[in-house]
Structure 1
Amino acid sequence: DVSECETGAHNCSQMCRNTAGGFTCHCYTGFQLDEDNTCIDINECLDNNGGCERSCTNTPGSHQCSCGDGYRLRPDNATCVDYDKCEYLNTCTQRCINQVGYYTCACDAGFHLHTDGKTCLPDVPCTEENTCSLAPAGLCGQVGGQDRCSCTSGYTLQEKDQATCIEVDGVTLNQCDDLAACVNTLGNYRCHCRGGYSITEDGRTCEDVDECAVDNGSCEQECHNTIGSYWCSCRRGYEIGPDGYSCIDKNECVLPEDNTCSRRAECINTVGGYTCRCLPGYEGDGLVCADVDECAIGNGGCAGTCENTMGSLRCHCRQGMKLGANGRDCIGQCFII
């Protein structure tokens, strides 16, 4: 039996399994076989939203669930849970109220919320002579006949005097995980994940980016995601190109160890595979080649006797005659007495 899967004499796009007298094509998980033996991606999001509670994104051979702002994906990678945004994303100047999927700011007595939704402004401003240090971002309100100091968004009251506003140092408040760098911004900070990772909804945790999910990672054939990176590979019969993305035909006939042809066969390279053909004087499937007994048919064309040899034959003439120029005929010899 010739293994079409080994010789490349098949039209499977992903996996080939040899059978007696033929072969069958199969697909990787997340793909399905169509009529011409091509594996096409299954869109899992079309079936019950891929099992995702909120958003489902189809990827080649798989899918990903996501939750959107204000939620975090549970360990089951399907359902979503609200988290305390006031702990991680709070930009309120006084009070932060966590809501399902978002948060809101509120003000203490004697203050009201500015249109920016974060800053608390005094209902009754203080007199010019007050105990608050107003530069550069201080606010002062009269509450119960006493000065009450506050700050604009991005600043906080200094603990020791509760009167001076200082910029919120994001680096000091850094809650970024180990895979992220903390970048200080005016009155806050943000986490910037290293290459191969993206920030999650909580704004501080990094998760692996599946580069293969977008345009197959620019890989021509197979894309393999790894933690923080990915790599490309090629199917049997191809090898990765110099750019690390493209696949070029591999000439399996160059090195004997790259093909299964008999040593008595010729290896013929094809695009994505190769075929084996027995040399003249031998017969078989190219993987196994047996000597042909040329003498068995028509005496091998010999006028005299025929001697079979490996891959050929040799003709002999009876005594007194010699072999002709064509290696087959026998001609008489003349003797001078």
Structure 2
Amino acid sequence: LDECAYGVSNCNQTCFNTVGSYYCGCESGYSLSNDSYSCIDHDECAQEIVICDHVCINDPGSFHCECNTGYALAANKISCKNIDECQTDTDNCQQGCTDTEGSYTCYCYSGYQLNTTTNATCYDIDECMDGTSDCIHLCNNTIGSYVCGCDIGYQLDSDGVTCIDINECDSNNTEECEDRLVRRSLPYLTNRKCITEDINECSLFNGGCDHYCSNTIGSYDCSCKNGYTLSCNGHNCSDINECNDDNGGCSQICTNTMGSYYCSCKIGYYNLTVTAENCSDINECEDNNGGCSQTCINAPGSFNCECYDGYDFINGSTTDCTDIDECLTNNGSCQHVCTNTNGSYYCTCNPGYNGSIFCSDIDECELDTDNCTQQCTNTDGSYYCSCYTGYIFDSSNNHTCIDDDECSHSRVVCDQICINEVGSFQCGCNTGYTLGDNGITCKDVDECLLYNGRCQHNCTNDYGSYYCNCKEGFTLSIDGFSCEGSSKNTGRNEAQ
């Protein structure tokens, strides 16, 4: 019978027929279970032979490699190569980008500074505020740089930072201007007369104002753009950190910028408004089950993957689950046979036992399921039949007993005749012999002891027989017993 062809083998994957039987096998990536039928997935990632550069993910019957963030899988599907985020324009850097192994860093151009909150955006450095401008008199900050200016009565030198005095008297004008208005403004001389017109200080280097300059009669005022406040020197504008006041009205993250700010949400939240004053949790489980292979549980700002009972995470993964082979640990607490299934397992007992987790011997003899025709002896997990004395097993099985013909065996010790009986035998003897007390040996019968063997004269015993003879002068008759008178003849005739 080809069990494989008839589908009665119970093999989980591959069946190989043999003469009188069969055996099961497994496909590549699986091994045969203890029950000799089921196939267990090999976790190649748990073995040292796997050569993945970074992460190994076990699959049913196989495995595949993945790479850490910042790397991409090479064509050989094993090695991981660095991703140059700066080249692929995935860096999010506002200005400069420097690729590193597995990541990247952002940098800012001269005159800008990196925002330490985002590590990607740049804001202008106010060289006038931090004292790095080298301007002698006035400093006017610009985006990414600055410009120096001079106080009234001075002019900027060729180095762009030094102020040199203007000699207004180089036209030999010694006339003083007494007018109060002229003293407050810049006097200049025309045809040796003092002119008292107001000077628009805002027209020269914006009056030294960082942002806005408003000319007034005899003077000027500086003011700042929204998001800035005027410094105590009356010229420079410093950024207002709106995030210091009630977190800028943001529900989660407030990021200050030069002259403004913006709200953003933590990872795992999304903006309810364009300006992101309000944030709501993102339910990652609604999108492709959060990438979880089994159960996705949403949490505020995050989510967690969980595995069903009987499953656990693949080594190194927090999303992919694989079946736990409970039979590999203490045989699943089964006393006999443990069979693993997807997400579970079950216990069975060896033939001859009853139960599941714990097994007890089945007494086939007591339950009368032994099919023995005579005697049954129970054993642990089985039984055996035996026959009464004088019986033997039928050649076709070890359950049916038939009469043993002892007389056909050479071991029978009857002296002369063996007579078979059902379940036994008895010995017999030939004529002239009688059975001994042991029921086996035969001893000679001395016929002469009984009525002289019916001989008329003399009776002579012999082994198994006897014979008669006559006295001298007589002859033995034809019957072998009687003697006839004759003085000349004697005779001998064995009794028959």
In which range does the TM-score fall when normalised by the shorter chain?
A: 0.3 to 0.5
TM-score normalized by structure 1?
0.48
Q: Which has the higher contact order (CA 8 A, sep 6+)?
A: 1
Structure number, greater radius of gyration: 2
